[in-house]
C-alpha cells in the first residue's frame, strides 16, 4: 500500500502538535511521559519532532490525558489556519498596510 504524501498543512499541523506536547511536558522527561501514556519514548520523540505528524487518535488521547490537556485544546492549538483563511489574512494585512 502506497501512502499519500502529506500536504504542507498536514505537516505544519504535526509540527504544531509536537511543539504543544513539548511545552505541556514541561520539565518531565520524555521517558516518564511516554511511559505514563503507555507509549515508547521513541514514539513520543517522533511526534514531538514532527517525524510522525499524524499519530493515531488514541495515542493523542493518551498523551493529552497524561499531560492534563483536553482533546479540544489539542485540536484547537495544533491546527493551523486553513490555506484559504491564510490567503484572507494576507489580503487583510495587505489592505491594512496600504491604508
The residues of the chain scoring below 50 in pLDDT are: 97-99
Distance CA 11, CA 51 (A): 9
Distance CA 79, CA 15 (A): 10
Helix (H) or strand (E) holding 46: helix 41-48
Q: How far apart are the first and last CA of the chain?
A: 53
pLDDT of 96 reads: 52
Portion of the chain with pLDDT greater than 70, in percent: 84
Amino acid at each position: 500500500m502506497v501512502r499519500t504524501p502529506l500536504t504542507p498543512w498536514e505537516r505544519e499541523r504535526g509540527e504544531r502538535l509536537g511543539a504543544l506536547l513539548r511545552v505541556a511536558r514541561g520539565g518531565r522527561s520524555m521517558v516518564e511521559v511516554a511511559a505514563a501514556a503507555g507509549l515508547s519514548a521513541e514514539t513520543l520523540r517522533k511526534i514531538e519532532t514532527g517525524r510522525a505528524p499524524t499519530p493515531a487518535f488514541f495515542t493523542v488521547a493518551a498523551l493529552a490525558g497524561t499531560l492534563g490537556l483536553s482533546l479540544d485544546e489539542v485540536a484547537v492549538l495544533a491546527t493551523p489556519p486553513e490555506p484559504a483563511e491564510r490567503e484572507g489574512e494576507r489580503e487583510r494585512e495587505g489592505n491594512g498596510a496600504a491604508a
